[in-house]
């Protein structure tokens, strides 16, 4: 229901405005009357209000003061001014307060209804934008935080996620322009890429639009529980990547098949660890071998291949790109290559995407080798951490191992790696902990011990500080790759 507050000190005018709105605005309206600005402000502070229609000259609190107060509220209604004063100063105050329309009395019903409809459209756009931000947050953070704010939207009587690859010859806005804004939300909007969450009943029309416009789409399973949103969004992303392995691409629709999905990614985890170990040790032949092994999959099913590719993609984005911040954040070439890798759906083929990864890794390797020439003990120290992180090691332990002065080692480690040794060790251990939690086979205290945290309470506190959630919540969220 749309709530409109009408503030005017003349009862007949209020009644007349209410009748005009009820008779001419095609929406379910709740029109509240207020005889002065204070009454209107008190109501708006306590109740969700979509539109405020106010007179300028009123007792107790006039329209100018009302608008200035409303402008400071966290949730502001759209404002329309009705006034018998054709005075530029009043109009200027109205404009500075964000008023959508300034209408002179006597009120023209057509002009008023046009202004109100415009205000309602503005309110809908703002509300939709806010909802999309909340949905994006759920996908990024996972969990159930913020769900109560979304329970009233009609999407969650049945919804699914759709990832659309828009052909390069098509103007992206032409695709968005044909979407029904009442039945879908845009979660991701990049060049030639659209990430949508849609009402289940809108799915057939979306499929028709995709095929008609020569797009490629990946479609998730359906759910009526918003907690599933993150899992479903990943399903749609992995499904659209099937175009890497199918003969038909544009105009194709790929639906996620839960029954034939990949249930265990431990083999990819192992390959990734070998790749990182080779990279840390700067063994060029081993790096190329491990990278090739990481990017090859034995599955005949295109859906499983695509799911595995997305898993590797997430590993690279969440781990590799953050592993060497000194280079990643400050080298333009490396940063641009990382964007190409991250925007996987915008790539035209799997070979092209692998080529980007190869470019990134080879260039990163040369940077690390160049660094090693000056400070070989840094590489030796990192190698030691990789092998002994689960033990009770400290910076003094490692500095002694590489035969370096404690203070000198501390300064050079931070200078070359981009973070101090203790933070590096803590984050490295945390990555191992997250990997173990995702396996789902260890209890929290076992994960803490295996990843080098001797105090479980300290581990749990640190985990929450670094990841914004508990270890148990992390394990539950990252079961998105399985059907559990």
Question: What pLDDT does residue 314 have?
Answer: 92
Q: What is the CATH number of the domain that holds 79?
A: 3.40.50.2300
Answer yes or no: do 225 and 296 share one domain. no
Q: How many domains does the chain have?
A: 3
Query: Where a domain ends, among 90, 124, 158?
Result: 124
pLDDT digits (tens, 9 = 90+) for 52-77: 999 988 999 998 899 989 989 988 89
pLDDT average, residue stretch 214-220: 94
What are the b/e assignments for 367-405, b being 16+ CB within 10 Å?
bbeebbeebebbbbbbbbbeeebeeebebeebbebbebe
Question: What pLDDT does residue 141 have?
Answer: 67
Within a domain: 455: yes
Answer yes or no: do 407 and 474 share one domain. yes
* Tokens matching residue 296: 């090859």
Query: Could you tell me the residue range of the domain that residue 53 belongs to?
Result: 2-124
The whole model's pTM is what?
Answer: 0.69
Within a domain: 180: yes
Least confident segment among 41-50, 329-338, 376-385? 376-385
pLDDT band of residue 260 (cuts 50, 70, 90) is confident
Answer yes or no: do 160 and 280 share one domain. no
Least confident segment among 71-75, 144-148, 274-278, 400-404? 144-148
Answer yes or no: do 329 and 402 share one domain. yes
Query: Where a domain ends, among 124, 155, 178?
Result: 124
Question: What pLDDT does residue 425 have?
Answer: 92
Within a domain: 77: yes
Question: What pLDDT does residue 16 have?
Answer: 93
Answer yes or no: do 352 and 471 share one domain. yes
Q: Are 368 and 282 in contact (CB under 8 A)?
A: yes
Within a domain: 137: no
pLDDT digits (tens, 9 = 90+) for 22-43: 999 888 899 999 999 999 999 9
Answer yes or no: do 346 and 206 share one domain. no
Answer yes or no: do 206 and 91 share one domain. no
Answer yes or no: do 452 and 347 share one domain. yes
| Phi and psi, residue 131, nearest 5° | -65, -40
pLDDT digits (tens, 9 = 90+) for 179-205: 988 888 999 998 899 999 999 999 999
pLDDT digits (tens, 9 = 90+) for 81-133: 888 766 556 666 666 667 888 888 888 899 999 999 998 888 888 888 888 88
Answer yes or no: do 307 and 398 share one domain. yes
Answer yes or no: do 119 and 154 share one domain. no
Answer yes or no: do 475 and 338 share one domain. yes
Within a domain: 142: no
Within a domain: 301: yes
Q: What is the CATH number of the domain that holds 426?
A: 1.10.10.60
Within a domain: 133: no
Answer yes or no: do 323 and 467 share one domain. yes
Within a domain: 139: no
Query: Where a domain ends, among 61, 92, 124?
Result: 124
């Amino acid at each position: 229901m749309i709530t409109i507050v009408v503030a005017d000190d003349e009862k007949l005018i209020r009644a007349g405005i209410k009748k005009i709105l009820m008779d001419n605005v095609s929406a379910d309206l709740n029109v509240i009357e207020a005889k002065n600005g204070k009454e209107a402000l008190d109501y708006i502070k306590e109740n969700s209000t979509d539109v405020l229609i106010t007179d300028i000259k009123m007792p107790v609190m006039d329209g100018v003061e009302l608008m200035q107060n409303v402008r400071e509220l966290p949730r502001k209604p759209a404002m329309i001014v009705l006034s018998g004063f054709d005075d530029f100063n009043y109009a200027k105050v109205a404009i500075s307060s964000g008023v959508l329309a300034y209408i002179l009395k006597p009120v023209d019903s057509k002009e008023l209804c046009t202004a109100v409809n415009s205000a309602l459209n503005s309110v809908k756009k703002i509300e939709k934008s806010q909802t999309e931000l909340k949905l994006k947050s759920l996908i990024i953070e996972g969990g159930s935080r913020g769900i109560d704010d979304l329970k009233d939207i009609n999407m969650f009587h049945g919804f699914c996620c759709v990832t659309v690859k828009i052909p390069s010859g098509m103007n992206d806005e032409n695709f968005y322009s044909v979407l029904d804004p009442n039945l879908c939300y845009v979660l991701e909007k990049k060049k030639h890429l659209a990430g949508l969450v849609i009402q289940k009943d809108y799915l057939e029309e979306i499929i028709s639009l995709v095929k008609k416009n020569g797009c490629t789409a990946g479609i998730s399973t359906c759910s009526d529980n918003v907690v599933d949103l993150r899992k479903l969004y990943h399903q749609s992303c992995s499904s659209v990547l099937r175009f890497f392995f199918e003969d038909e691409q544009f105009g194709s629709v790929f639906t996620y098949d839960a029954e034939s999905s990949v249930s265990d990614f431990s083999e990819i985890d192992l390959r990734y660890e070998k790749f990182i170990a080779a990279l840390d040790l700067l063994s060029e032949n081993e790096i190329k071998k491990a990278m090739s092994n990481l990017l090859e999959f034995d599955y005949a099913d295109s859906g499983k291949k695509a799911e595995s590719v997305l898993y590797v993609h997430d590993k690279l984005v969440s781990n590799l790109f953050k592993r060497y911040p000194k280079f990643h954040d400050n080298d333009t070439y490396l940063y641009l290559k990382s964007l190409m890798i991250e925007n996987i759906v915008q790539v035209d083929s799997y070979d092209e995407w692998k080529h980007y990864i190869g470019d990134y890794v080879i260039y990163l390797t040369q940077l690390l080798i160049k660094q090693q020439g000056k400070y070989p003990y840094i590489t030796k120290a990192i190698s030691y951490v990789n092998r002994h992180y689960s033990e009770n090691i400290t910076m003094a332990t490692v500095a002694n191992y590489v035969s370096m002065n404690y203070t000198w080692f501390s300064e050079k480690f931070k200078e070359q790696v981009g973070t101090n040794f203790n933070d590096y060790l803590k984050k490295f251990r945390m990555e191992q902990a997250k990997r173990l939690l995702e396996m789902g086979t260890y209890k929290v205290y076992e994960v803490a011990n295996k990843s080098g945290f001797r105090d479980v309470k300290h581990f749990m506190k640190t985990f929450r500080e670094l990841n914004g959630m508990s270890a148990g919540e992390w394990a539950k969220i990252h079961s998105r790759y399985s059907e559990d």
